[in-house]
Amino acid sequence: SQQGEEDPQALSIQEGENATMNCSYKTSINNLQWYRQNSGRGLVHLILIRSNEREKHSGRLRVTLDTSKKSSSLLITASRAADTASYFCATPFSGTYKYIFGTGTRLKVLA
């Protein structure tokens, strides 16, 4: 079964708006990662947040992690049409390096 679940499954916003997507997971983790997938392509790593971090920034990306709720959020600020893609969270399963991916959020940014 999937370790992570993202919501919403799909999100459509106007260019310039912020996009927020959430990820929930099941087991204890030491890090959580977010990836982006353009249609029909491989995944690209965006950001990694460790279990002892609450928030991390990278450019227009802001990630938060709440280990007590087993959840994370990815915020993309000032979105652009080029941000249109699917976004996945990934967590290592139960102390291993077996990375399990969530179901993904399909983001569409309208110009």
Partner 1 sequence: GAGVSQSPSNKVTEKGKDVELRCDPISGHTALYWYRQSLGQGLEFLIYFQGNSAPDKSGLPSDRFSAERTGGSVSTLTIQRTQQEDSAVYLCASRYTAPNTGELFFGEGSRLTVL
Residues that bind partner 1 (CB under 8 A): 2, 31, 33, 35, 40-45, 48, 88, 90, 92, 96-104
Q: Which is nearer to partner 1, 78 or 98 (CB)?
A: 98
Q: Which is nearer to partner 1, 63 or 102 (CB)?
A: 102
With residue 24 as reference, give the H or E element that holds it.
strand 19-24
Smallest gap from Cβ 25 to partner 1, in A, equals: 13
- Reading across the β-sheet that carries 5-7, which strands appear in turn? 5-7, 19-24, 71-76, 61-66, 55-58
Scan for tokens 């983790």, then name that residue: 29
Smallest gap from Cβ 43 to partner 1, in A, equals: 4
Q: Which is nearer to partner 1, 76 or 87 (CB)?
A: 87
Smallest gap from Cβ 46 to partner 1, in A, equals: 10
C-alpha 17 chain-centroid distance: 17
Q: Which is nearer to partner 1, 41 or 54 (CB)?
A: 41
8-state DSSP, 51:
T
Which residues lie across from 58 on neighbouring strands? 61
